[in-house]
Amino acid sequence: MDAIHIVWFKRDLRLIDHAPLCAAAARGTVLPLYVYEPDLWAQPDASARQYAVIQAGLADLREALTVFGAPLVIRQGDVLEVLAALRQQYTIAGLYSHEESGNAWTYQRDRRVAAWCRSQGIAWHEFRQFGVVRGLQARRAWATQWEAQMAPAPLPAPLEWHSVQGIEPGAIPQLPVDPAWQGGGRRAGLRLLQSFLGARGARYHREMSSPVSAESACSRLSVHLCSGSLSLREVLHAVRARREALREADDPAAAVQRRALSAFDARLHWHCHFIQKLESEPEIEFRNMQRGYDGMREQDVDPARLAAWCAGETGWPFVDACMRMLQATGWINFRMRAMLMAVASYHLWLHWRPTGLHLARCFSDYEPGIHWSQCQMQSGVTGINIPRIYNPIKQSRDQDPEGLFIRRWLPQLAGVSSEWIHEPWRMSAALQRQSGCVLGRDYPAPITDHLQAAREAKARLTAWRRRPGMSEGNRAVLIKHGSRKRDVRVRTPPVSAQPDLFGEPG
């Protein structure tokens, strides 16, 4: 039987900057493989919109491989059964893939794959894809390690390699795609990258906070990073090359754009910083990062409040408009993601796990490491982040002063004037009828008084933070997960000396 080197594509659907492919191509005959795993897509954090991104990426990858005369082999089922079937047909000289910091299901699957490879005497070669460090015990000089990983130029695709011939490639599983969802695939990713580096992202740092401007000003590359149609390293190098080119332009507009790209560069660091948390502690998908918060919200989840929040029917127009946009498109900007999670956690006092699952299914760009770290951060249970209680009305007035975004996603409020659009419940009954929006009929009344809910949440969280042992728990989390560029002696003051660490973002 022919000896083959299997390149297992997962969330790395590209040829450029693909270390496993380069290593396999240098050693012999290559079989590029993608396995559609039904059990993965049946997980509670999975959705069709996430697979739509993969589906487009697979089509582009198959086309790119065709240029090299190599088939992208696609199989469905359990990956161990797929590998075992190939083992019957070929001598497997090695399995090659990127490391994956995915959800718990992929973590357990990879452990099974590792055990199977050992039992079969097959070497599994895994390569780092991001600046995430497997087996990291502490964050000493993590930023320096990140830069060292990202510094080399992106790997070019192998110029040629021997590929398996005569194998049935298999069809790409097809699911219906809503045209409102953001698509995937390398070609779309490259177009977005170029438009962002051009005029579209010139004011990124000034326009990324409001959903009104963020839709075009943000890079929108997140779906391509989470599916791997673009590598983080090639994006970073493109951004830095553009910044250098702008440095030579002596005009104010170039200076503004350089600052915008500097802000985006920093976000690429944060991308790996948050994934590292899940890589280092997979349990944070399910349990509080600071275990001292166990029991604070678990018993208080109100199904009616959860359902209203999920449906975008809280009665707070800006919150609901953000949820409606997310439901329709699979994307919304980061600040509004944080607001949605914070409102659920504080104003509705919902535990982060059920709300996090809903958001995960809504996000086309769901990245487990970023997602679960942020869910905990925005619900105030990490022990190392300042709790931020967003005022949904202040956010509405600041980010959508004329109510254009609200009216776009809540057409039942189209007739409400800018004076009342942020708080329609303050309209008189006559004005509600005149505006064509009667509360309780056309649009719900607020689920609760947001100011009173915020005060109660702050009091509950403050009382919990003062429980015995919390300071020690905070310190342990900081040592393991805190962001710092060098090894320092970590000290945290006792909770009693931290009377008010709440922030209310403007």
Task: For residue 371, give both structure tokens.
Answer: 């997602």
Q: CA 142 to CA 407: how far, in whole Å? A: 44
* Contact (Cβ atoms closer than 8 angstroms) between residue 93 and residue 27: yes
- Residues 326-335 have pLDDT tens digits of 999 999 999 9
Residue 138 is classified by DSSP as S
In terms of domains, do 262 and 292 share one? no
Residues 212, 118 within the same domain: no
pLDDT category, 1, cuts 50, 70, 90? low
Give the C-alpha separation, 200 to 188, whole Å: 15
Q: In Å, what is the CA distance from 492 to each residue of 43, 289, 380, 472?
A: 38, 17, 17, 9
| Residue pLDDT, tens place only, 156-188 | 999 888 999 899 999 999 999 999 999 999 999
d(CA 347, CA 187): 42
pLDDT over 90 (residue 488) = no
Phi/psi-derived region of residue 479, left when phi > 0, alpha when psi is between -120 and 50, beta in every other case: alpha
Q: What is the number of residues in the chain? A: 506
Q: 144 lies in a domain? A: no
Same domain, 488 and 374: yes
Task: Residue 197: give its domain's CATH number.
Answer: 1.25.40.80
Q: For residue 249, what pLDDT band results from cuts at 50, 70 and 90?
A: confident
- Choose among 55, 313, 319, 310: nearest CA to 178: 55
Query: 10 Å Cβ neighbour count for 163?
Result: 18
Instruction: Please check whether residue 140 lies inside any domain of the structure.
Output: no
For the stretch 32-89, pLDDT in tens is 999 999 999 999 999 999 999 999 999 999 999 998 889 999 999 999 999 999 999 9
Beta bridge partners of 34: 9, 74
- The predicted pLDDT at position 246 comes to 94
Read off the pLDDT of residues 359-375 as tens digits, 9 standing for 90 and up.
Answer: 999 999 999 999 999 99
Residue 210 lies in a domain: yes
Which of the listed residues 279, 305, 339 is the one where a domain comes to its end? 279
Q: How far apart are CA 361 and CA 47, in angstroms?
A: 5
Regarding whether 317 and 264 lie in a shared domain, the answer is: no
> Exposed/middle/buried for 10, CB within 10 Å: 0-12, 13-18, 19+?
buried
Q: 196: which 2 tokens?
A: 């962002």
What pLDDT does 159 receive? 87
Per-residue model confidence (pLDDT) at position 169: 97
The single-letter code of the amino acid at 195 is: S
Instruction: Please say which residue of 129, 151, 178 terminates a domain.
Output: 129
Co-location of 301 and 256 in the same domain = no
Instruction: Say whether pLDDT at 483 is over 80.
Output: no
Determine how β-strand 91-98 pairs with β-strand 73-76.
unpaired
Q: Indicate if 451 and 303 belong to the same structural domain.
A: yes
Write down which residue in 255, 279, 303 finishes a domain.
Answer: 279
Distance (Å, whole) CA 355 – CA 332: 16
State whether 425 and 315 are in the same domain. Answer: yes
Percentage of residues of the chain with pLDDT beyond 70: 95
How many angstroms from the chain centroid is the CA of residue 362? Answer: 11
- Please check whether residue 367 is in contact with residue 227, taking contact to mean a CB–CB distance below 8 angstroms: no
Phi and psi of 320, rounded to 5°?
-65, -35
Check if the beta carbon of residue 310 is closer than 8 Å to that of residue 167.
no
Residue pair 223/182 in contact by the 8 Å Cβ criterion: yes
Half-sphere exposure of 242 (CA within 13 A, CB side): 25
Q: Angle at CA 162, nearest 5°, toward 16 and 89?
A: 110
Please report the pLDDT score of residue 93 as a whole number. 97
Coil/strand/helix, residue 464: helix
Lowest-pLDDT choice from 156-170, 303-317, 476-490 = 476-490
Q: Give me the domain span that covers residue 212.
A: 186-279
- pTM of this prediction? 0.94
pLDDT of residue 501: 41
Find residue 439's DSSP bridge partners: 443
Average pLDDT along the chain: 93
Residues 323 and 228 in one domain: no
Per-residue pLDDT of 381-424, as tens digits, reads: 999 988 899 999 999 999 999 999 999 999 999 999 999 999 99
Same domain, yes or no, for 297 and 416?
yes
Angle between helices 352-362 and 334-342 (to 10 degrees): 150
Is residue 222 predicted with pLDDT exceeding 70? Answer: yes
Q: Is residue 504 domain-resident? A: no
Domain count along the chain = 3
Q: Judge whether 177 lies within some domain.
A: no
| Band (284; pLDDT cuts 50, 70, 90) | very high
CATH assignment of the domain containing 9: 3.40.50.620
pLDDT value of residue 263: 95
pLDDT in tens, 432-472: 999 999 999 999 999 999 999 999 999 999 999 999 999 99
One domain for residues 371 and 454: yes
Helix (H, G, I), strand (E, B) or coil at 401: coil
pLDDT beyond 80 at 484: no
Task: Classify residue 378: in a domain, yes or no.
Answer: yes
Q: What percent of the chain has pLDDT over 90?
A: 88
Does any domain span residue 168?
no
Contact (Cβ atoms closer than 8 angstroms) between residue 122 and residue 43: no
Ordered strands of the 91-98 beta sheet: 73-76, 30-36, 3-9, 91-98, 124-127
Same-domain check for residues 350 and 486? yes
Residue 166 lies in a domain: no
Cβ–Cβ < 8 Å for 299, 157: no
Considering the domain architecture, whether residues 242 and 219 belong to the same structural domain is answered as yes
CA proximity to 386, closest of 479, 504, 287, 266: 504
